[in-house]
Amino acid sequence: MKIAVYSTKNYDRKYLDLINVKYGFDIEFFDFMLNETTAKMAEHSDVVCIFVNDDGSRKVLEKLAALGVKMIALRCAGFNNVDLKAAQELGLQVVRVPAYSPEAVAEHTVGLMMTLNRRIHRAYQRTREANFSLEGLIGFNMHGRTVGVIGTGKIGIAVMRILKGFGMHILAFDPFKNPAAEELGAEYVDLDELYTRSHVISLHCPATPENYHLLNRDAFAKMKDGVMIINTSRGTLIDTQAAIDALKQRKIGALGMDVYENERELFFEDKSNEVIQDDVFRRLSACHNVLLTGHQAFLTEEALMSISEVTLSNVYTLQTGKPCENNVLPS
């Protein structure tokens, strides 16, 4: 069984190689993304392993199927970048890693909250320049404030556990109520009520057509002035241009983003010697109350081990003809 791994970074190779000792697959690593041009590199491969920004569109899948590829193994939870209808028509199996370390993403989420609230990123830059003024660094007590958590799956629940420890009142929205959220004392409300009552809003839901630009101009208009918004899920959940306007109007007081709707051409690469052509991203990054990280919320040792284990386990399970619980398509 040969596996072609696209968008490989050093940490991907390290942990996949470590886990592969017990499976013995023939793994070939590529540091570039999967797209129509690079699909040909998967020749003679049985499995193609991809990440969040690889191209799994119909044209790419057709090329892979023509090369003899039988399986797409996503080493992430989301699968919005794969044309599932095309995959089914082409006889390609699609598996994913539904949950690798909810705590990793949750802890990064809260890290963004605390950094923005207490202006730690600004204070760090000041003290490096021997500027110890406290002007402009006032935050607020998280204790007693209201947080709105949109999406109450495993990551949303992990975030709630931390924020409950801060003494925050938790509002929740999800089409499917999770008893674990209610056990933590979360109050399920509709989106409009969550928008109007929350001091902090944190997104933990997938990228689906229904969730596209979930936070848009209308949503921002319903929120408290100075609301803090955190997104560690998918970039398309936020209408970025509308968010910039809301920042200018001071409707959004702080914005933390580990994802960005046009991140494919930016994230996971060193662009420090280039002029960023994305004007929207440049406007965002110029705001002192915006904190951007490059899709790193998942990046812990524990998460990378789990991702590698589940990815290769998925391949092994299907190879042996057994049903795989992480199969995205109906068997």
Active site amino acids: 234, 263, 295
Structure tokens at 97: 């890693």
Nearest-angstrom CA–CA distance, 162 and 30: 37
Report the relative pairing of strands 93-95 and 146-150 from DSSP bridges: unpaired
Q: Tokens in use for 79?
A: 């699968």
What single DSSP character describes residue 82? B
Nearest Cα neighbor of 4 from 73, 56, 52 is 73
100 Cβ neighbours under 8 A, 6+ residues apart: 77, 298, 303, 306, 307, 310
According to DSSP, the residues that pair with 230 across neighbouring strands are: 202, 256
Q: Which of 280, 231, 281, 223 is nearest to 252 (CA)?
A: 223
User: Are 105 and 234 within 8 A, CB to CB?
Assistant: no
What is the token pair recorded at 182? 């209610």
**Under 8 Å between Cβ of 162 and 107:** yes
Instruction: Report the sign of the C-alpha dihedral through residues 107, 109, 111, 113, in that order.
Output: negative
Residues 6+ apart with CB under 8 A from 322: none
Collapsing DSSP to helix, strand or coil, 1 comes out as coil
